[in-house]
Amino acid sequence: MTRSGGVTGVQLRSAIDTAALAPADAAEIEAMLGKVDLNEWTSGSTRRGGPPDRFQYDLVIEQDGRRHEITIGERDVSPSLRSLLDRLVAEARRRP
Amino acid sequence: MTSPIHSCRHPIHCLVPPQMLERIAENGSQAQRKWALDTLTRDHSLRMARVQNMQHRASGPRRADILTEVLAGMPRRTIRTAQNTENVEGPVMRGEGDPPTGDVAVDEAYDGLGATYAFFWDVLERDSIDGDGLPLRGVVHFGSQYDNAFWDGQRMVFGDGDGELFLRFTKSLDVIGHELAHGVTEDEAALEYWGQSGALNESMSDVFGSLVKQYKLGQRADEADWLIGADLLAPGVNGVALRSMAKPGTAYDDPVLGRDPQPAHMTKYVSTLSDNGGVHINSGIPNKAFHAVATALGGYAWERAGEIWYEALRDSRIKPRARFRTFARATQRAANRLYGDGSVESKAVGDGWDAVGIEL
Ligand SMILES: [Zn+2]
């Protein structure tokens, strides 16, 4: 996941590999993913331009041998996708 | 003098709606009009000379004209709280003329929008975002630990920050100016928020945001820090600001934030699909051009460089998809028009764009 834009212009990046997580953690992520309708986003949701200073999320999800690439503006994030993105952002914000 | 509100001993503690004051200023007796004008103009010490001049003339025949003129220099601010939700229509915390609330984000938004309004009015003679007195709507406490601020087409919205990376977004006056300037740019040029036109849009906001702060602080170009968001990096973050107009690419270098990605020259232009095609990245190039022009000219940056940039933004040849060079040429035309071909200003503009690799 990459979150870019916002007035700060700061880019946050993170990746989660469920195979490398504790089972309970992995199940939580899988559950979040399960609520997201990935097909909703596979048909090129990239748009040129947008409202100023809002976040842009670029998300790559690899699942069951399929790869989904999503570009989505903050205003278009559904509540189900939101919890997944929040988790990924929290991951990106962790200090090494 | 008899106050129109007899129960109120100290007008400063009275909550008289501006509309009522306007009516009194228009229809009241001589003394009432003076009181109403005083009250309406109280927060505007920078304009006191002009206002006093108007009050002097207010006894003459041009009363209606003068009233319009006085009100044209008045912001109309409303600050709401989203109460840490994403509802931008939350309760009103502070309206125009209301006293401080004690909620620091509310009061910073109120004061910052006031300072930004004063800059556009005093320096550029622009009456608010649309040039026609558009009321200024601010929303604070937006979202939960929200690390952002934005202009949504109708209002300026500010998050509280997460406290670890960023503090509240009302803390930097230049960021408040940045958001209001997005409204001005939308009104004047509607620069598409993508690629070079988007980076120009961003740069206009940084330029005017920085000028708002410099004007407020009374700083000359060589005294200003030319930083955007210097106040809102949380302690412990390795950096000085979000962006540096003087030295793009040097604002931060932090394990979480990464390194400031801004280029200062066209040879380093970043092609990317993220950030709407790098609008907050490549804005470093026109930002640096403005800084170069302003520092070459010296004095107050808003007086010549700022005026030239503003004129260029208003140039009818600036279309929504304008690129850097198109805008650069508009600044050159503006400098020639305002100061003459071959003037110091005109040369400084050419040199400024040359310094970032843009040929006119
Ligand atoms: Zn912006």
Residues B111-134: tens digit of each pLDDT: 999 999 999 999 999 999 999 999
Q: What is residue B38's predicted lDDT score, i.e. its pLDDT?
A: 65
Q: Encode pLDDT of B249-283 as tens digits.
A: 999 999 999 999 999 999 999 999 999 999 999 99
Q: What is residue B285's predicted lDDT score, i.e. its pLDDT?
A: 98
- Please name the fold of domain B195-355: Neutral Protease; domain 2 (1.10.390)
Contact by Cβ (8 Å): B113, B121: no
CA torsion, ordered B153, B175, A75, B87, to nearest 10 deg: -80
List residues of B with catalytic annotation.
179, 280
CA dist B180 and B176 (Å) reads 6
Nearest of B132, B187, B180 to residue B314 by alpha carbon: B187
Residue B233 has pLDDT above 60, yes or no: yes
Q: Which of A2, A4, A8 to mutate to test the interface with B (most CBs of B within 10 A)?
A: A8
Nearest of B85, B105, B110, B113 to residue B167 by alpha carbon: B105
Handedness of CA B177, B179, B180, B186 (dihedral sign): positive
For residue B53, name the pLDDT band (cuts at 50, 70, 90): very low
- The answer to whether domain B13-188 and domain B195-355 are alike in fold is no
- Residue that wins the pLDDT comparison between B39 and B348: B348
CA torsion, ordered B10, B12, B17, B21, to nearest 10 deg: 70
pLDDT (average), residues B1-28: 49
- Residue that wins the pLDDT comparison between B238 and B40: B238
Smallest CA–CA distance from B86 into chain A, residue: A75
Sketch the domain layout of chain B as residue ranges: 13-188, 195-355
Report the b/e string of A18-48 with b at 16+ CB within 10 A: eeeeeeeeeeebeebeeebeeeebeeeeeee
This prediction has a pTM of: 0.85
Residue B63 has pLDDT above 70, yes or no: no
Residues of chain A in contact with residue B150, where contact means CB-CB under 8 angstroms, are 6-7, 51-54
Give strand pairing partners of B77: B136
Selecting from B193, B229, B276 the residue whose C-beta is nearest the C-beta of A8 gives B229
For residue B195, name the pLDDT band (cuts at 50, 70, 90): very high
Q: If residue A72 lies in a helix (H) or strand (E), which one and from where to where?
A: strand A66-73
For residue B74, name the pLDDT band (cuts at 50, 70, 90): very high
Residue A57 has pLDDT above 60, yes or no: yes
Q: Encode pLDDT of B139-189 as tens digits.
A: 999 999 999 999 999 999 999 999 999 999 999 999 999 999 999 999 999
CATH architecture assignment, domain B13-188: Roll (3.10)
Half-sphere exposure of B204 (CA within 13 A, CB side): 35
How much is the ipTM here? 0.92
Distance between start and end Cα atoms, chain A: 17
Q: What is residue B35's predicted lDDT score, i.e. its pLDDT?
A: 64
